[in-house]
Structure formats: C-alpha cells, structure tokens
C-alpha cells in the first residue's frame, strides 16, 4: 500500500500543475473592441462590404494607464473587404499575427448606406447572433461613414470604441438621450417586423456627438429617415425611454433650464373602432430648476405654476410633433404601440398585425390624446434672479 502511495501522490500533483491544453497567451490575442461596416460597392446584385476592426494592443494600453508611454497607439484599425463578414474576418486574420477575439466587442457601427439598403442590416447581424463567440449586448449605432468614427481621436479616452460605448451609456442615463439598442434588442424587433430607432453619432473635431436618430421601418427592414435630437426627446417622452435629462424653454424674457429627476408615463390604447384608434398618453415629470437667464421671482404664487405650465406645453409640442411625423410622414410605429396592442388586446392585434404600419396601415388611424403634468420640486438656493 505504501508502495502504491509513493507513485499515486506525485502523479496527482502533476495533474494539478498542468495548464489548459488549449490556452492562449493574452499577448497572442487580438481583442476586437469595435467594428465599423461601410458599403464598398454594389453592382450586379452583389454587395461588397468594407469592414474595419479596432484591435487593442494590451502592452500599449498598460503603458498608458501606468503613466508611462510606449510612443505607440494602444489600438490598431485593420480593414478588409468582401461579400460576407465571415470571409472578411478570415482575410483579416492574415493581416495580423494576433488571433481575433470578439468576446470584448463593445460597438458595431454601420454606415447610412448600409442602413438604407433593404434587409442588409438583418443579414449582417446573423453572424453576431449565430456565433457563440459574439455578444448579444453589443451596441449598434449609425453614422455617415462608419470607419471615420473608429478613426476619431477623443481626448477623454485613448480607445475610440470604448469612448463611443461610454458616450452611449452616459448619454442615455445622464443627458436623457436615446437609449442605445443592442444586437439582441434589434434581432427581436426584426423578428417581430417592428419599427425602431438607432442613435446617430457624428465625429466633430476631437469629439463625437449625438446628431439624432435613424428610423428603421420594420416591414421594409431598412432605414427610411432620421429624427432630430428634439424629435428624439419627444419620442423618449412617449415610450418612457429616459428617466432623466434636461429641458429648456423661453419663458417671457427668460431662458429657463430644468434637470429632470423622474418621468412617469402611462399609455392606453382603445382599438374598438379601427377607423379611429384612440391612443391616450399621460406624462408626469418631476424636475428642479437649475438655471435662469433673466428676471423671475419664484417666491410668488403665480410664477412657479406658470413656469410648470410652460414646460408642460413644451413637452406637449414635442410629443405631438414626433407622433404626427411617425404617423403621417414616416408611416412607422416607432412608439411601440404594436407591443401594447399585442399584450393588452391580443385578439384584435391578431387580426391587424399584418396591416399595422403598412398595407391597410391601421396605425395611420390613431388619434392622440395627451395629458402632461410638470412638478418643479425645488428652485435651488435662490428665489429670484435679476438681469
């Protein structure tokens, strides 16, 4: 027995000390954190894609974060073109000595040309949904030229893809901008034939800015138009996509800015008459006054209610403007009314879902009834300003 133990114990120790047979060194991996897809050309019914992947160089990132400098960028952009994303990825593997690794990808940037090509976006997302190496939480944005966004040089962040991802998160949480959609969210909308909106970003000098929203029609499966930032704000108020942000109004001779603390919206649909579908939206906003350019005494009983009323009227204008555009101009239900109908009126939805915002277009028969209420919780540390 002692003789057997003499051999078994060293053997077990050797098993514990062995490494994984298929492990890869971190230095050998090419961590792709962002992908930009442009349309190279389209002829003879063939679409040629131009793809740019942004790869992190771990050694240079470490040098930057520890205060040193390697004298080189912490990332590299590699581009190739082809008919399919998988084919292009295989070509890119020949252009670098790093093994492509997609599990840390943060953003997918598509050009307007890609977005406006019918059914192309849904085809491009197939590899991201199908491959186990891809993450469904990758954020998707639209821009004029996708590669240019990865070539931007923001001062606040050394890695453009990380900067874009953080901008999307902070923009929706702090500034009340449109909440970004992930690949998983978009796949769900495409399978439902639902219309949706993606953020539009644009490079401006040394920074990147929100410049509106790209409207995708569910039935046409392509981008059909854009929304301004003001129209996106109205859309957020309808669908409750944002619980914070800022609003400005001109009240008398004063510019007043409030910080939104909370937005509660309630939406009802009465589809009993398909020729006049009533949509009732109730919005309650709680906010604080942050800044006033002008002369206002907030201590009086009359001024503050009038300011609250002015903000309510402003929000009503924004909501009615974007609702009318979606119904009459875009013919696209970007307000998620289809989901409300499906969950609350399933029998009626089953009858009209194939003709909701196309065909018979029952969506165009909707009538909006809107009620907006503003509650300014505090006016700050002062009660009066003077010109």
pLDDT in tens, the chain (387 residues): 555 555 566 666 655 655 554 555 555 567 899 999 999 987 777 899 999 999 987 766 655 555 555 557 788 899 999 999 999 988 888 887 767 788 889 999 999 999 999 999 999 999 999 888 788 899 999 999 999 999 988 877 888 999 999 888 887 665 556 778 999 999 999 999 999 999 999 988 778 888 899 999 999 999 999 999 899 989 988 887 667 778 888 888 788 888 888 889 899 999 999 999 999 999 999 999 888 887 666 666 578 888 899 999 999 999 999 999 999 999 999 999 999 999 999 999 999 999 999 999 999 999 999 999 999 987 765 555 554
d(CA 75, CA 62): 12
What is the per-residue DSSP string for 176-245? --PPPEEHHHHHHHHHHT--EEEEEEEEETTEEEEEEEEEEETTTTEEEEEE-HHHHHHHHHHHT--S-E
Find, among 371, 372, 376, 176, the residue nearest to 296 by Cα: 376
Res 21: pLDDT: 47
End-to-end CA distance of the chain: 97
Q: What pLDDT is stored for residue 297 in this prediction?
A: 63
pLDDT, position 6: 57
pLDDT score, position 67: 53
CA atoms within 13 A on the CB side of 73: 14
CB atoms within 10 A of CB 293: 14
Report helix angle 229-239 to 303-324, nearest 10.
100
Which residues, at least 6 apart from 158, have a Cβ–Cβ distance to it below 8 Å? 61, 64, 73, 74, 75
pLDDT of 261 reads 87
pLDDT of residue 54: 94
Contacts of 291 (CB under 8 A, 6+ apart): 255, 256, 257
Q: What is the chain's percent helix, strand, coil content, to nearest 5?
A: 35, 35, 30
pLDDT for 135 equals: 85
Compute the C-alpha angle 300/387/249, nearest 5°.
Answer: 70
* 238-241: long-range contacts, CB 8 A cutoff, minimum separation 24: 238/265, 238/267, 238/281, 238/319, 238/322, 238/323, 238/335, 239/265, 239/335, 239/336, 240/264, 240/265, 241/172, 241/178, 241/179
Which residues have a Cβ under 8 Å from the Cβ of 362 and sit 6 or more positions away? 274, 277, 352, 355, 356
Q: What distance in Å separates the CA atoms of residue 384 and residue 122, rounded to the nearest whole number?
A: 55
Residue 247: closest CA among 372, 122, 157? 372
Kindly report the CA angle at 55 between 78 and 70, in degrees rounded to 5?
Answer: 105
């Amino acid at each position: 027995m002692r003789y057997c133990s003499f051999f078994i114990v060293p053997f077990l120790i050797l098993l514990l000390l062995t490494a994984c047979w298929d492990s890869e060194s971190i230095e050998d991996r090419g961590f792709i954190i962002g992908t930009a897809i442009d349309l190279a050309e389209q002829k003879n019914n063939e679409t040629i894609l131009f793809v740019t992947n942004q790869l992190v160089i771990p050694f240079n990132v470490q040098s930057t974060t520890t205060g040193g400098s390697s004298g080189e960028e912490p990332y590299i952009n590699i581009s190739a073109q082809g008919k399919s994303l998988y084919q292009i990825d295989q070509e890119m593997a020949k252009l670098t000595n790093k093994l492509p690794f997609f599990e840390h990808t943060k953003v997918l940037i598509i050009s307007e040309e890609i977005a406006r090509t019918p059914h192309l976006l849904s085809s491009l997302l197939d590899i991201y949904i199908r491959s186990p190496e891809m993450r469904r939480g990758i954020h998707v944005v639209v821009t004029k030229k996708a590669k240019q966004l990865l070539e931007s040089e923001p001062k606040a962040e050394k890695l453009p893809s990380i900067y874009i991802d953080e901008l999307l998160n902070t923009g929706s949480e702090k500034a009340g901008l449109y909440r970004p959609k992930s690949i998983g969210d978009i796949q769900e909308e495409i399978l439902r034939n639902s219309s949706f909106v993606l953020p539009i970003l644009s490079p401006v000098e040394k920074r990147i800015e929100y410049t509106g929203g790209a409207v995708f029609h569910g039935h046409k499966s392509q981008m059909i138009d854009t929304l301004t930032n003001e129209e996106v704000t109205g859309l957020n108020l309808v669908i409750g996509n944002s619980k914070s942000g800022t609003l400005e109004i001109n009240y008398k001779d004063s510019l007043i800015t409030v910080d939104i603390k909370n937005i509660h919206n309630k939406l009802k649909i009465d589809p009993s008459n398909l020729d006049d579908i009533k949509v009732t939206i109730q919005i309650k906003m709680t906010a604080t006054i942050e800044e006033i350019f002008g002369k206002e005494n907030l201590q009086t009983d009359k001024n503050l209610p009038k300011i609250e009323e002015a903000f309510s009227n402003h929000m009503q204008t924004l909501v009615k403007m974007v609702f009318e555009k979606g119904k009459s101009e875009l013919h696209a239900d970007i307000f998620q009314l289809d989901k409300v109908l499906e969950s609350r009126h399933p029998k009626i939805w089953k009858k009209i879902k194939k003709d909701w915002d196309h065909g018979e277009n029952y969506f165009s028969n909707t009538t909006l009834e809107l009620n907006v209420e503003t509650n300014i919780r505090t006016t700050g540390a002062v009660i009066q300003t003077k010109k």
